[in-house]
Amino acid sequence: MQVIENLKAKEKLYTEKLENGLTVMIIPKKGMNKKYIIWGTNYGSNESSFIVPGETEVTTVPDGVAHFLEHKMFEQENGRNSLDVLTEIGVSANAYTTNDHTAYLYECTEHFYEALDEFMDYVQHPYFTDENVEKEKGIIGQEIMMYDDYPDWKVYLNALQAMYEKFPVRLDTVGTIETISKINKEILYKCYNTFYNPSNMAMVICGDFEPDEILQEIKRRLIDIKGNGEIKRIYPEEPDSIVKERVTQHMEVSRPLYTIGIKDKPIDNCQGNGKEEMVKKHIAIEILLHLLFGESSELYKKLYDKGTISSAPSMDYEFSRGYAHILISGQSNNPEEVYESFKQQVQTVKQQGIDENNFNRIRKTLYGDYMKEYNDVTDIARMFLADYFKGINSFEYIEQIMTVNCEYTQQVLKEVFEENKMVLSIVEMSV
């Protein structure tokens, strides 16, 4: 087992790639009562076209299969639902699907190994029938309709669709009523056998564990299956340009919602490609977002004092295979003013340069935020899994942050925060 120690975070990562290709990561937390495990597959809603290892023909499946699979995995041949079984044991279990990965998890203070039996059993033993697949279409159909009525989701999705013309990140993770109607058990088994192979999966365990002991327990519960070859993922070619700058939707909201999007080049297409560049760029963008529109920024104070906004926006940089973008979301009685003011602030900082004192203060605050993530087993495990599927060891953020300087950040500002790559999505009150 490889041991990676980070002296700044005072944490150790124990990791091993098993014979079947499964990567297991263990972050021990001595004295911590809560235990957390997450098991993910490098497979999300973006993977609708691919070539199965050993085949030559392209397989194309309906949108929404990854999420559909996640829903169906809990149903077992004995008639029980594994989510119910885990709840009865006294553990809190869940699952989720993103654009680039699917994950199954549970947390508890007691009964960890009893829960592990059920957990590792259901993830390795899918059970799909014509009847249970048809029944699930009705359940997921209701979920789709619910999201269609959810303003926070629509303002987000509309921003993605304003940025992306073809890339599947623009699509709803759950698919549509039409696309899920085409899903059958054969499609589910094919996607399961392709993407739920151990060589395409990773597991992260965090809590008061002895690494060797928990690793043996994991190995003991794995079924005998060999790792497969590389899955060739096929994505449409996405233009650099945006689709349209503005999109407005009317819904039942008490105050308008807005999302400002900035479309970026995928990091795997950038110069200086590599893990280090990915991490450095992500850090620089986080610093820039705080500098431009964080709670201590001039722009935030100005808009808050005017009453245009009443709270700080959420600000994220999302990136994975084939896509990258910035999203800034919040509520405002005048989203257009927020958008125009933000664009003006970007131009001002581009022209005047980044204030070094501000830069150092924000970088120091961000470093503190990174360190705080190691206080919670949930944050640690989810972070290590998501970063692993991007080819990143989470420790690298702590190691790289002080190498990100003002000059580099100014260059990222110039390259990424381009006005012709910005969009504004608004959800406002129905007339």
- Strand, helix or coil for residue 304: helix
Residue 273: predicted pLDDT: 53
Average pLDDT over residues 68-86: 94
Residue 270: predicted pLDDT: 46
Cα–Cα nearest to 318, from 292, 289, 295, 291: 289
Residue 267: predicted pLDDT: 75
For 246-429, CATH number out of 3.40.50.620, 3.90.25.10, 3.90.45.10, 3.30.830.10 equals 3.30.830.10
Percentage of the chain beyond pLDDT 70 is: 98
Average pLDDT along the chain: 95
Residue 242 pLDDT greater than 50, yes or no: yes
> What is the band of 271 on the pLDDT scale with cuts at 50, 70, 90?
very low
Residue 142 pLDDT greater than 70, yes or no: yes
Q: Are 198 and 225 in contact (CB under 8 A)?
A: yes
Per DSSP, the residues of 129-191 read -HHHHHHHHHHHHHHHHHHHT-HHHHHHHHHHHHH-SSSGGGS-TT--HHHHTT--HHHHHHH
Distance CA 334, CA 195 (A): 45
Classify residue 181 by burial, with Cβ atoms within 10 Å: 0-12, 13-18, 19+: middle
Cα–Cα nearest to 287, from 351, 356, 339: 356
Q: Are 398 and 370 in contact (CB under 8 A)?
A: yes
Give this prediction's pTM. Answer: 0.94
* Between residues 36 and 227, the one the model is more confident about: 36
Active site residue 70: yes
pLDDT in tens, 315-356: 999 999 999 999 999 999 999 999 999 999 999 999 999 999
The separation between CA 12 and the C-alpha centre of its own chain, rounded to angstroms, equals: 24
Q: Are 291 and 361 in contact (CB under 8 A)?
A: no
Residue 235: predicted pLDDT: 96
pLDDT in tens, 162-173: 999 999 999 999
Q: From the candidates 70, 75, 118, 238, which is the catalytic residue?
A: 70
Average pLDDT over residues 27-44: 97
Question: Tell me, what DSSP letter sits at residue 200?
Answer: G
pLDDT in tens, 282-328: 999 999 999 999 999 999 999 999 999 999 999 999 999 999 999 99
Q: Are 299 and 348 in contact (CB under 8 A)?
A: no
- Strand, helix or coil for residue 373: helix
Handedness of CA 365, 370, 373, 375 (dihedral sign): negative
| Tokens linked to 337 | 């003013």
Average pLDDT over residues 4-12: 95
Residue 241 pLDDT greater than 50, yes or no: yes
403: left (phi over 0), alpha (psi -120 to 50) or beta: alpha
For 2-233, CATH number out of 3.90.226.10, 3.60.110.10, 3.30.830.10, 3.40.50.1100 equals 3.30.830.10
Helices 275-293 and 356-372, packing angle to 10 deg: 120
Listed in order, the ranges of the chain carrying CATH 3.30.830.10 are 2-233, 246-429
